[in-house]
Chain A
């Protein structure tokens, strides 16, 4: 039975464990000091500083632009959909490039692996094709839907 497996932690490992626990004490102290300073600064500035908040001051800095929303114009949703589909299929090309680079080296060594590599790529392209068929049948490519 499994609980009869002798499981004794060697003495040096035990010592090691306790030693490591002490090793982390400086880090603990540093964390405490960091927290103390951070909280202290906030508390002090809360009491000492003057506060004249405006809406613009409270908003996070976004390169001088108004943060959200207003800069957005209404786009036809089709642009986003097409762009997203383009990106997804476009990125897959990254797998084709190393494959084409390595393809001509596959003849080296007496055996011909080109057919094997073609088969592998056919599997990969098959899955991509499946995605394409899916998109097509879902009419995501039709502009006038």
Chain B
């Protein structure tokens, strides 16, 4: 048997290695501490590991794309862009969860190591150059999230959300895997670049680690198309795209609020990172077949997400449907299937992260006594009690609705422009119309805060200092990115060069 030693370019996965070691370290350190030791040292340990990983990832920016570990992962700007985004999200989640962690006595060791391991999964999804890696990263993320969702042991809803997420998530994984198996069967490879070459020998994605040797060219077949369709189901589930979104509202409502914030931005961005890689690298030549399907899914997602959000009473549930609708907007950028489209997707992901995390920060600041104060009617007269928080919440709501001069407006503008350029004007029109619906329910919160008299007897809470600062930073970023989007756009554009 001929054995070729795989070359190990450790630097390509340096952030993953650092994160893994951080997670293990947190777990071990926690084992050798008392049962009621403060979670603070672990939080600092986690944050330190995240900071080192972010620094490593930033220092890897700008290198030529390189596949590593026999074409399993690829390190390029796209990877680093998403890595930094994911790790910042995880860092914010560590900050947001701290209060709930101490009050509801979560096990800090497990909590922090799980959240770090889920970050490993997300980074692997963004750097995957092989369907095996997509699957492993997705499962690593999902398994950690199943546990984190059920972390509020005192609340039955949390546990219910956990089992619903697990049963439906595992079901969707089955579809994803069957899709991968069919793609492998019809193309003879699981490497994204090799799959592309098997479908169309002219395509060159050498940077994805597919050798120049001949591939088992099977061209287009029903088997392959069935595989692609199942990949749409499996990945669409993770991104909460209608009609695979049924889990999202329940899971978002039941999970601890910090984890809801984490899932609504982190897991969604990771799912789209993988969707872009899989569909843009492996199946660009099949785009006639999948772009119409994805376009219809995007349209349905925007319409259903926005209309269902209108009737919600709980702010977490409302934000859950809103995040479904935003998955629809992001999917429009995938449908555009151009470099411009992907650059706008990358930009919108950042913008959506900032505004959605900001909204959740305000929710957490107000609902401190373990998951109360979560109805929209609880926000009545907030501007009298907490003028600053009310102002920030109004800003985040306006941005989510896409009103200028916020990042929500700029991001939607670029996505819909890309859609029109790619000849999907009807999709842009549906997007615009459905975001008009969204203005109604976002402004309902603003209306409650400013126009409705406060309920008697509601005491103001003392806001947590660091979360308030973070919300202020998010509010600043929402406006700053809305007025000066060019810096992030340039990064997004440089990250999407792998698409031709």
State yes or no: do A and B touch (Cβ within 8 Å). yes
Residues of chain B from 431 to 488 with CB closer than 8 A to chain A in the complex = 486
Chain B 269-312, CB within 8 Å of chain A: the 1/0 string?
A: 00000000000000000001101100000000000000000000
Residue A111, interface by CB 8 Å? yes
Which residues of chain A from 110 to 138 have any CB-CB distance to chain B below 8 Å in the complex? 111, 113, 116, 127, 130, 133-134, 137-138
Partner of A134, one of B27, B291, B422: B27
For the complex, is A9 an interface residue (Cβ under 8 Å from B)? Answer: yes
Nearest CB in chain A to that of B293: its residue = A24
Pair A9/B422 contact, Cβ less than 8 Å: yes
B332 at the interface (CB under 8 A from A): no
B489 nearest in chain A by CB position: A2
Q: Which residues of A contact B31 (CB under 8 A)?
A: 133-134, 137-138
- Docked-complex contact A109 and B292, CB < 8 angstroms: no
Nearest-Cβ distance from residue A102 to partner chain B, whole angstroms: 8
The answer on a CB contact under 8 Å between A3 and B28 is: no
In the bound complex, CA of A61 to CA of B289 (Å)? 40
Would B340 and A7 count as touching, CB distance under 8 A? yes
Residue pair A113, B489 in contact (C-beta under 8 Å): no
B493 within 8 A of A: yes
B5 and A21 contacting across the interface, CB-CB below 8 Å: no
Q: Which residues of B contact A1 (CB under 8 A)?
A: 486
A66 CB within 8 Å of chain B: no
Q: How far is the CA of A116 from the CA of B4 in the complex (A)?
A: 12
**Cα distance A16–B287 in the bound complex, in angstroms:** 10
> What are the residues of chain A within 8 A of B421 when measuring CB–CB?
7, 9
CA distance A1 to B493 in the complex (A): 9
Please tell me which one of the listed residues A20, A127, A137 contacts residue B288 in the complex, with CB atoms under 8 A apart: A20
**Any A CB within 8 A of the CB of B372:** no
* Residue from A20, A105, A113 with most neighbouring chain B CB atoms (10 Å): A20
What is the minimal beta-carbon distance from A117 to any residue of chain B, in angstroms?
Answer: 10
> A108 interface residue, CB < 8 Å from B?
yes
- Give the docked Cα–Cα distance between A134 and B414 (Å): 49
Tell me the minimal C-beta distance from B52 to chain A in angstroms: 20
B417 within 8 A of A: yes
Chain B residues in 8 Å Cβ range of A138: 31
Asked if A5 lies at the interface with its beta carbon under 8 angstroms from chain B, I say yes
Residues of B contacting A5 in the complex (Cβ-Cβ under 8 angstroms):
339-340
Asked whether, in the complex, the Cβ of B423 is within 8 Å of the Cβ of A17, the reply is yes
Contacts of A16 in B (CB 8 A): 288
Main secondary structure on chain A at its contact with chain B? helix
Q: Does A34 count as interface, using CB distance less than 8 angstroms?
A: no
Query: Are the CB atoms of A108 and B27 closer together than 8 Å?
Result: no
Assess whether A113 is in contact with B27, with CB atoms less than 8 Å apart.
no
Check B37 for interface membership: any CB of A closer than 8 A.
no
Interface pair A111/B5, CB less than 8 Å apart? yes
Does residue A100 face the partner (Cβ distance < 8 Å to B)?
no
| Given A17-B423, A130-B28, A3 and B292 contact (CB-CB distance below 8 Å) | no
B140 within 8 Å of A (CB atoms): no
Is B5 in contact with A113, judged by CB distance below 8 angstroms? yes
Once bound together, how far apart are the Cα atoms of A121 and B307, in whole Å?
53
Which residues of chain A are near B27, meaning CB under 8 Å?
Answer: 130, 134
Question: Considering the chains assembled together, what is the distance between the CA atoms of A106 and B6 in angstroms?
Answer: 12
Interface status of A46 (Cβ within 8 A of chain B): no
Smallest CB–CB gap between B159 and chain A, Å? 16
User: B338 an interface residue at 8 Å Cβ cutoff?
Assistant: yes
Whether B3 pairs with A108 at a CB distance below 8 angstroms is: yes
Most chain A C-beta atoms within 10 Å of own C-beta, residue among B3, B339, B492 = B3
Which A residues are within 8 Å of any B CB, using their own CB? 1-3, 5, 7, 9, 14, 16-17, 19-21, 24, 102, 105-106, 108-109, 111, 113, 116, 127, 130, 133-134, 137-138
Give 19 new A-B contacts, CB below 8 A, not counting A7-B422, A21-B292, A102-B3. Answer: A1-B486, A2-B339, A2-B343, A5-B339, A7-B338, A7-B340, A9-B422, A9-B423, A17-B288, A17-B292, A17-B423, A20-B288, A105-B1, A108-B3, A109-B2, A130-B28, A133-B28, A134-B31, A137-B31
Top 4 nearest A-B pairs (CB, nearest first) are A2-B493, A137-B31, A20-B288, A105-B1
